[in-house]
Amino acid sequence: MADYRSPTVVNPVIPVENMTSLERLLLEAVFDVEFDEDETAMYFSSELGPNAQITVDRDQLRTAFREAAVTPKSTAAEHVADLCRSSAGSDERKYQYLDIDMSEPVWSSILQDILRRSATIDEIVVTTSFTCSRMRPDGFGGAVMLITADTISRHSTAQMIEGLRAEAARISVVTDLSTAGDAITGPETRTLVVISTGHICPDTRTMLEHLPCGKWPCVGGGYADYGWFFYAHEENCGVSDQRIPDDLYTVMTWARKHGASHVLLDRDGDQVDDLEWFDW
């Protein structure tokens, strides 16, 4: 039988003074805990993975809940209150110990509450590795979580792989276009240059994002969520809203100067020293 584990560490250490007694009670059951030398901060980790289901003493929980009830916007207090309401009138109330669901995102929201009231912590990073007692292909990987006062962001190795696949697909398309002349001898071939979307200004970007490409003042189209591609027009004869924006036409002129008939503006493309850069 294969054992799947999720060793996890939480950085930085959490000052005890920033936690309510209820938050501390719950987090100590979710994670393994170590104190610093003067016992003013706690280091949370887990060798096997955070406990999704914890068991706490009912009297201890009741005391901690009363102390935390006055804390505004407390995920811990709200979670325990919901649990108490759902178990009201059931046989569970006669037992000394209470089972509590502490699966993510409950504990991550509690960590965010602590961060928000802390004067010393700007962010909390939770790093997890996925391991297995057997060398199974689905048993290894990892994830990282960034907790700030405003957001909780997560990325796993599976998401990273999807990003790498998308990047490989974009490179493959550009490579196919750039080498088409070596493989095709009959039809006319064109040259495409790839540069960063940072070479167009915010106003032009807004026009490209919100105006259907059939109404653009130039020939082109969207490139998924990564940017846009264009025919590098040799003249800018339009007037009013049918005139190619100056920054975009400058890019086209630069492409023609360097032997390219088409331009791909890619958010991951290179910055060109010869062109103006818009830091948006």
Distance CA 61, CA 22 (A): 7
Beta strands in the chain (DSSP E): 4-5, 8-11, 14-15, 32-35, 41-46, 53-57, 97-101, 124-132, 141-147, 152-156, 192-196, 220-223, 227-231, 262-266
The set of residues, in sequence order, having a beta carbon less than 8 Å from that of 113 and lying 6+ positions away, is: 23, 73, 74, 75, 76
For residue 275, pLDDT beyond 80: yes
CA angle 187, 191, 193 (to 5 degrees): 155
In this prediction, residue 176 carries a pLDDT of 61
Residue found under tokens 């950085």: 11
The mean of the pLDDT values for the chain is: 87
Residue with more model confidence, 202 or 179? 202
The set of residues, in sequence order, having a beta carbon less than 8 Å from that of 261 and lying 6+ positions away, is: 190, 191, 192, 231, 232, 255
Give pLDDT tens digits for 56-113.
998 999 999 988 777 778 899 999 988 877 766 566 566 788 899 999 899 999 999 9
CA angle 45, 19, 128 (to 5 degrees): 20
Give the global pTM: 0.60
